[in-house]
Amino acid sequence: MDGLRKQQVSLRGSSAKEITRDALLEKVAQEREFRNYMRRATAASLFIQRVWRRYASTKMVATHLREEWKEMLKCHSVPMNRAWISNKLLKPFLFFITTLATRRQRFEDQDVDCMQICFKILLESINSSDPQRNFCTLATSNMEERRTWTYQAKKLISLCIHILSKCDYSCQEGHQHILLTSMAMRFLVSLTDLKGWKTFDDVTLQDADTSVKDLVSYMCSEKSQLYISIRKYLSRLDVPFSSTASHTDDRFLITASAITLALRPFNNGNMNMEFAVEHYFVLLLTVPWFTQRLPPVLLSAIKHKSILSPCFKQILVMADIKRENFIRDFKVE
């Protein structure tokens, strides 16, 4: 009996040691996990601080640039030639407007004023018959100037499309934004239309045509979100479109320009239209009460067979591809 009791006491002690060992191992694992969590939290905190400091610093520089830019334009003796527009007007403008305006949900009054001034100068430049004053002639200049012009033109396209997506006639402060959107759309229509360019001869015409097609391809690509922005704009229009709107009314001009831009790739030969056709069909033709939201004068353009035929053909091609993929997958299974 005594031996049996000693054996039971020994087993109890062994069990207690096992429980203590398991608890210790679990505690060590928990401490290790906590240290790893704290390291990750510290690293994340430092990263957020770096990002915030960089953002605050960039915003401060952009604000300073905006003030310098506005002071520069107060000088009436500024030579507004194409080099000045590219280097002095657009370089700081695109930086501070991208930093201060396009990342917000709404535009501040100062940003709206700056954009109106910039688009006014650009419109005057594009309409100039003087090659040294016309901003678009940089598209046929030397390689470095062409590269800079292409970059700036695409940034301006993205800005104009962003402005269109924010246009809302119901906003109380909407008048200035509507005026800005009208100017932006006029500029974008002129920029992507070779017929609107001036001062080109037979030598530079081919280079200019190539540049315009490149801009249209970018404008109608997924990156620019043109069709999404047009859909947002059209969805805010009254149903039906105001019958009292004249052809010089800002609302009419914006709407006509938006539809013109949507149809650009259909009149741009030798261009891959697959993406544009698909999004024109899916994003625009499916806008509720689409035809009622448009001025009657525009309906004949969007219903023309040269516009709708490529859409239907592309949809049929996509349907055939999906059917072939379904059949192939079914056979594999």
One DSSP character per residue, 9-34 reads HHHHHHHHHHHHHHHHHHHHHHHHHH
165 CB-contact burial (10 Å; exposed 0-12 / middle 13-18 / buried 19+): middle
Q: With bands split at pLDDT 50, 70 and 90, how would you rate the model's confidence at 291? A: confident
Instruction: Inform me whether the pLDDT recorded for 269 exceeds 90.
Output: no
Indicate whether 153 belongs to any domain: yes
Contact 213, 155 (CB under 8 A): no
pLDDT at residue 232, rounded to an integer: 93
- To the nearest whole number, what is the mean pLDDT of the chain? 82
| Stretch 42-61: mean pLDDT | 84
Q: With bands split at pLDDT 50, 70 and 90, how would you rate the model's confidence at 11? A: very low
pLDDT in tens, 180-199: 999 999 999 999 988 878 76
* Residue 138 domain boundaries: 44-304
pLDDT at residue 115, rounded to an integer: 94
pLDDT in tens, 119-167: 999 999 998 888 888 999 898 888 999 999 999 999 999 999 999 998 8
Sign of the Cα torsion 116, 141, 199, 265 reads negative
Give ∠ CA 325-330-332 in degrees, rounded to 5: 95
Instruction: Inform me whether the pLDDT recorded for 110 exceeds 80.
Output: yes
Q: How far apart are alpha carbons 181 and 170 in whole angstroms? A: 14
Indicate whether 235 belongs to any domain: yes
Q: Indicate the SS3 state at residue 105.
A: coil
Share of the chain above pLDDT 90, in %: 27
Instruction: Inform me whether the pLDDT recorded for 298 exceeds 60.
Output: yes
Contact 238, 166 (CB under 8 A): no
Indicate whether 24 belongs to any domain: no
pLDDT at residue 79, rounded to an integer: 67
Indicate whether 331 belongs to any domain: no
| Nearest Cα to Cα of residue 130 among 81, 90, 202, 88 | 81
Instruction: Inform me whether the pLDDT recorded for 118 exceeds 90.
Output: yes
Instruction: Inform me whether the pLDDT recorded for 63 exceeds 70.
Output: yes
Contact 148, 86 (CB under 8 A): yes
pLDDT at residue 187, rounded to an integer: 95
pLDDT in tens, 252-267: 899 999 998 988 887 7
Indicate whether 158 belongs to any domain: yes
Q: How far apart are alpha carbons 183 and 250 in whole angstroms? A: 9
pLDDT in tens, 72-89: 888 766 668 899 999 999
Indicate whether 157 belongs to any domain: yes
pLDDT at residue 85, rounded to an integer: 93
Indicate whether 328 belongs to any domain: no
Q: What's the total number of domains in the chain?
A: 1
pTM of the model: 0.79
Q: With bands split at pLDDT 50, 70 and 90, how would you rate the model's confidence at 224? A: confident
pLDDT at residue 27, rounded to an integer: 81
Instruction: Inform me whether the pLDDT recorded for 282 exceeds 70.
Output: yes
Q: With bands split at pLDDT 50, 70 and 90, how would you rate the model's confidence at 29? A: confident
Q: With bands split at pLDDT 50, 70 and 90, how would you rate the model's confidence at 174? A: low
Instruction: Inform me whether the pLDDT recorded for 326 exceeds 70.
Output: no
| Stretch 163-183: mean pLDDT | 82
